[in-house]
Amino acid sequence: MSLAIVTGSAQGLGRELAVQLIAKGWTVCGVDFNGKAQEDMVAQFGDSYRAFTGDVSDEQFVQTSVNEISQIGHIDLLINNAGQPSFKVPTAYEGADIDKCLKGLKGMVLWSVATLNATKEEHLKIANVMSTAATRGNANESVYCATKWGERGYTESLKAAYKGSSVKIVGVYPGGIDTNFYVDSHDYVSEDKQHSFMDPAQLAEVILFNLVNEANLTVSDILIERNYR
């Protein structure tokens, strides 16, 4: 049995990653704060989807969940996908916006540490889904970019720490995705613009094509842009 953890798994890109992994025969332990969406995933996929509902940045929740997951079997793949945006002009940011964006970075670190310990740092692939905002600075995304650059720094540090080992680290940098990610930011990204972004199902397919394969290699960075039209 191949076993994966996917954070932010019941919505958007995370849901597509979970669904497509299940279609490939994986058991997915999905982590999301949306209880209703989690129930829907369990109803659709049964034992192939194990729901863990909570805040990805809650250390006790993370540790308890990973302890339970490790009883199912060896964790082969961790996809740190969960995150929340905040898009504002530089002078409009407040502490709550910073805390909101930092949840993704904190969750990435907590889930990585707990999973590395649970697997005894052996035979594990960690894929950190970030954004092209981790590769450049974008106007009106200063705090979001700052946290994504932090996630990139963490990812690169993990690569250095586990170079030459059976732990493989992959950085995933997608551009804009047509999901509810922008639902509270349509003053910045209009609905029309959102719908010009990448289809999450197609994006998940491309990510997993590079991430989960039988080839004796590791694609260490996946940068994916949409086709402009």
Render pLDDT for 109-161 as a digit per residue (tens, 0 to 9): 999 999 999 999 999 999 999 999 999 999 999 999 999 999 999 999 999 99
58 pLDDT higher than 80: yes
User: CB count, 10 Å around CB of 163?
Assistant: 10
Which pLDDT belongs to residue 85? 84
Which pLDDT belongs to residue 189? 59
Q: Is the pTM of this model over 0.85?
A: yes
Give the three-class secondary structure for 114.
helix
Burial class (CB in 10 A: 0-12, 13-18, 19+), 23: exposed
pLDDT tens sequence across 10-40? 999 999 999 999 999 999 999 999 999 999 9
DSSP secondary structure letter of residue 88: -
229 pLDDT higher than 60: no
For the residues 158-177, what does the mean pLDDT come to? 94
For the residues 61-70, what does the mean pLDDT come to? 98
Give 187-193's long-range contacts (Cβ < 8 A, gap of 24+): 188/87, 188/88, 188/140, 189/87
pLDDT tens sequence across 95-105? 999 999 999 99
Which pLDDT belongs to residue 130? 97
More confident residue, 214 or 134: 134
Residues 128-161 as b/e (b if ≥16 CB within 10 A, e otherwise) read bbbbbbbbeeeebbbbbbbbbbbbbebbeebbee
Which pLDDT belongs to residue 7? 98
**Number of alpha helices (DSSP H) and beta strands (DSSP E) in the chain:** 7, 7
d(CA 14, CA 70): 21
Give the three-class secondary structure for 51.
strand
H-run or E-run covering 79: strand 77-80
Spatial contact of 89 and 141, defined as CB atoms under 8 Å apart: no
More confident residue, 27 or 197: 27
d(CA 137, CA 26): 36
> How big is the chain, counted in residues?
229
Query: With pLDDT > 70 as the criterion, what percentage of the chain qualifies?
Result: 92
Local confidence band at 175 (pLDDT 50, 70, 90 cut-offs): confident
Which pLDDT belongs to residue 57? 97
* pLDDT-wise least confident of 34-48, 107-121, 192-206: 192-206
Average model confidence (pLDDT) across the chain: 92
Spell out the SS3 assignment of 165-204.
CCEEEEEEEECCECCHHHCCCCCCCCHHHHCCCECHHHHH
Quote the radius of gyration of the chain (alpha carbons, Å).
17
